[in-house]
């Protein structure tokens, strides 16, 4: 049998987070920072339009056909987690049309704090918050904040105008993430963009070396119900496997009331 050449599939990198936190802008920034050295493609997800894809095409960061839109027609989290078929087909088409690609960035349609990518769709995921959403958002937890590969606290240039202490917001995020990476980012701060660029290159190198393992942030963060037994006033558990994990150690008591209203 002929020996197969090593052709690592492109790194598939998801970008999720609430509406308006700067996901499309972050993707444009990554493309600007890396387009000369990497072969890139982008998939956007919008509910009814291809607005994000058009924004990115007009930014001129990649040739237009390397940016493709998936119109989900439903809650964005459905298309990136529950039934990823449309996205997977779009990624595979893009990878085939422009083979070989190094990185495909996939933007989630703006959703709430609970939306994360399936590890069957992306190899790594960035969750984006912004300072304008309020300094307390990082403390509110959720699977993306808690366990995405990278949490970005975006638009730090706006912090003085919205009265947010960036250092405190980053510290809160770090505490909620048990040491996983947190990056304070602004498109007006070249040093922060350099860190983002280096992070993407590191993940890509690990992906190619076979040492990066896709993590599943899970559908919902471990949390407690205030009316259940726990020394801190609740019973900390997770719905990730559909099985409560009683006594699960967690560094913070998540905002139980907010996290349990969807059940």
Ligand X SMILES: Nc1nc2c(ncn2[C@@H]2O[C@H](COP(=O)(O)OP(=O)(O)O)[C@@H](O)[C@H]2O)c(=O)[nH]1
Query: Could you tell me which residues are beta bridge partners of residue 42?
Result: 67, 105
Piece of 17-25, 32-40, 78-86, 236-244 that binds ligand X (CB under 6 A): 17-25
Indicate whether 125 belongs to the interface with ligand X (CB under 6 A): no
Indicate whether 222 belongs to the interface with ligand X (CB under 6 A): no
With CB under 6 A as the contact rule, the residue among 72, 87, 154, 238 that binds ligand X is 154
With CB under 6 A as the contact rule, the residue among 14, 41, 76, 110 that binds ligand X is 110
CA distance 188 to 177: 26
Closer residue to ligand X in complex, CB, 42/204? 42
Could you tell me which residues come within 8 angstroms of residue 88 by beta carbon, excluding any fewer than 6 positions away? 120, 121
Indicate whether 155 belongs to the interface with ligand X (CB under 6 A): yes
E strand or H helix at 174, and its extent? Answer: helix 166-176
CA 162 to chain centre: 24
Rg of the chain taking only CA atoms, in angstroms: 19
CA distance 153 to 27: 15
Contact 147, 173 (CB under 8 A): no
With CB under 6 A as the contact rule, the residue among 50, 157, 174, 228 that binds ligand X is 157
With CB under 6 A as the contact rule, the residue among 9, 20, 181, 206 that binds ligand X is 20
CA distance 34 to 197: 7
Indicate whether 21 belongs to the interface with ligand X (CB under 6 A): yes
CA distance 246 to 101: 44
Site string for Mg ion, 9-48 (x = CB under 5 A): --------------xx------------------------
Piece of 80-88, 95-103, 153-161, 220-228 that binds ligand X (CB under 6 A): 153-161
Indicate whether 50 belongs to the interface with ligand X (CB under 6 A): no
E strand or H helix at 31, and its extent? Answer: helix 23-34
Interface residues toward ligand X, by CB under 6 A? 19-25, 110, 154-155, 157-158, 186-187
Q: Where on the chain is the footprint of Mg ion (CB under 5 A)?
A: 23-24, 52
């Amino acid at each position: 049998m002929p020996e197969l050449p090593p052709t690592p599939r492109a790194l598939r990198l998801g970008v999720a987070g609430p509406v308006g936190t700067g996901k499309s802008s972050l993707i444009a920034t990554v493309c600007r920072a890396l387009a000369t050295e990497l072969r890139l493609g982008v998939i956007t997800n919008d509910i009814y339009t291809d607005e994000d894809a058009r924004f990115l095409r007009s930014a001129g960061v990649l040739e237009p056909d390397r940016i493709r839109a998936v119109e989900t027609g439903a809650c964005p989290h459905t298309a990136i987690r529950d039934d990823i078929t449309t996205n997977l087909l779009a990624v595979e088409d893009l990878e085939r049309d422009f083979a070989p690609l190094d990185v495909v960035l996939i933007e989630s349609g703006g959703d709430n704090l609970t939306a994360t990518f399936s590890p069957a769709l992306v190899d790594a995921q960035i969750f984006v918050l912004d300072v304008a959403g309020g300094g307390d958002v990082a403390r509110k937890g959720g699977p993306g904040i808690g366990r995405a590969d990278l949490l970005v606290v975006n638009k730090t240039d706006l912090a003085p105008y919205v009265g947010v202490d960036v250092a405190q917001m980053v510290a809160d995020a770090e505490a909620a993430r048990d040491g996983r990476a947190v990056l304070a980012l602004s498109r007006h701060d070249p040093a922060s963009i350099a860190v983002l660029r280096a992070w993407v290159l590191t993940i890509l190198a690990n992906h190619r070396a076979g040492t990066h393992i896709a993590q599943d942030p899970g559908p919902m963060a471990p949390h407690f119900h205030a009316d259940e037994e726990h020394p801190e006033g609740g019973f900390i558990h997770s719905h990730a496997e559909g099985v409560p994990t009683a006594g699960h150690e967690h560094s913070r008591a998540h905002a139980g009331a907010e996290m349990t209203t969807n059940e």
